[in-house]
Structure 1
Amino acid sequence: MTQSDYDHREEGESLFEWPLDSAGMRMGAGELLDSLLATIQHLNRTDAWPLTILPPRFGDVLVDRERRQISAVCLWKRKPVKTHKEG
């Protein structure tokens, strides 16, 4: 992979949605935001997840307890494809 390939990865902005489990339903706003940020960090470290997600901006997070869902508009960039050299 060249530096050019690394710099020209697809990027965008999308709405991401996550279910609220019973623990999430009892959390306050600060706890929910901490949980959301932890989830994003986990996904960013997971090789199988194809995107690096930036934390949402203030006001871009919506908690819908009736639908048991938290959603956030986040910027993202596709992770570089790892290639394995055959030896």
Structure 2
Amino acid sequence: MFNRIFKVACWHLLGISIFCVLMKSSDMIFGTTIINFLFETTNGVWALNGVGIISVSIAVWDGQFANMVKKSHWSQREQLPDTEIN
């Protein structure tokens, strides 16, 4: 359980970090201050959180968590009693 939470948090922070590096690079190249908007306003924090959620979604879509989900899914399925619908 802790491994899964740790992995999701790492993907979330990795996505935000990559996004911030790209924004800071574009600020340096174009002379803008977009990075200040991201860290100084509430909307900027929501944008960073959205980027983190998108990065976790991409990780799930890519199958990064498939093995962990499959193991836990089958362990829960094995514990269920055999019931049939008549």
If the TM-score is normalised by the length of the shorter chain, which range does it land in?
A: 0.3 to 0.5
More helix by share: 2
TM-score for the superposition, normalised by structure 2: 0.35
Which is greater in Rg? 2
TM-score, L = length of structure 1: 0.35
